[in-house]
Structure 1
Amino acid sequence: QLTDYGFHLNKIPIYCDLKSAIAISCNPVQHSRTKHIAVRHHFIKEHVEKGTIELYFVKTDYQLANIFTKALSADHFNYLVRHLGMRSLSPKELERLAKSQ
């Protein structure tokens, strides 16, 4: 463990669009409803309990990962591209950037 060597890290944020998944991971009362789930799927729950990660709810429309997994309208795609910090560069812009370095 890194904490044994004096490294203290911030909680890792994970953004989820399923409120029920967050409830199961954060609420031990839900345990009886999740007994059928294989042990390997309790990884997130264990790390929430340890304080290693923190879960946040994000509406599906704002999930940045959707840009890689879903068919999106052009407007929605461009919105997510901007929030990823990506840009579409024209050949002229690429050439200008290459010359400036």
Structure 2
Amino acid sequence: MYCDNKSAIALCCNNVQHSRSKHIDIRYHFIKEQVENGVIELYFVNTEYQLADLFTKALGRDRIEFLTSKLGMRSFTPETLKKLMNEEDE
């Protein structure tokens, strides 16, 4: 799992309960348990390359275009969409 928050990664990878994190409800420790069990691994990714931001944040046009290209997504014009729909109906 890629994360752009080093503090969150540290909390999940550290077995010690700190006073600053004791307020976190036990039900939110799922990821930490999965890391401890070796089910998932956490990796830091610079926020510039965090692809999930495309689905979770309001972004500017340049940022959207950059992230969609990294995901291999592209935008269709209304005319292209109509052509594709007509091809599918045939």
Provide TM-score, normalisation by structure 1: 0.71
Is structure 2 residue 39 aligned with structure 1 residue 39?
no
2:5 counterpart residue number: 18
After superposition, the C-alpha distances for 1:31-73 in whole angstroms (9 at most, x for unaligned) are 1333221110111100000000111111222211211222222
Unaligned runs of 5+ in 1: 1-13
* Partner Cα separation in structure 1 for residue 66 and residue 38 of structure 2: 32
Give 1:25 deviation, angstroms: 0.4
- Counterparts of 1:40-59 in structure 2, within 5 Å, are 40-59=27-46
1:88 counterpart residue number: 75
SS of alignment partner, residue 18 of structure 2: helix
Percentage identity across paired residues of the two chains: 55
Give 1:97 deviation, angstroms: 7.7
Is structure 2 residue 53 aligned with structure 1 residue 66?
yes
Unaligned runs of 5+ in 2: none
Amino acid at match of 1:84: L
Number of positions where the alignment pairs a residue of Structure 1 with one of Structure 2: 87
Amino acid at match of 1:44: I
Amino acid at match of 2:46: K
Q: Over the residues paired in the alignment, what is the CA RMSD in angstroms? A: 2.1
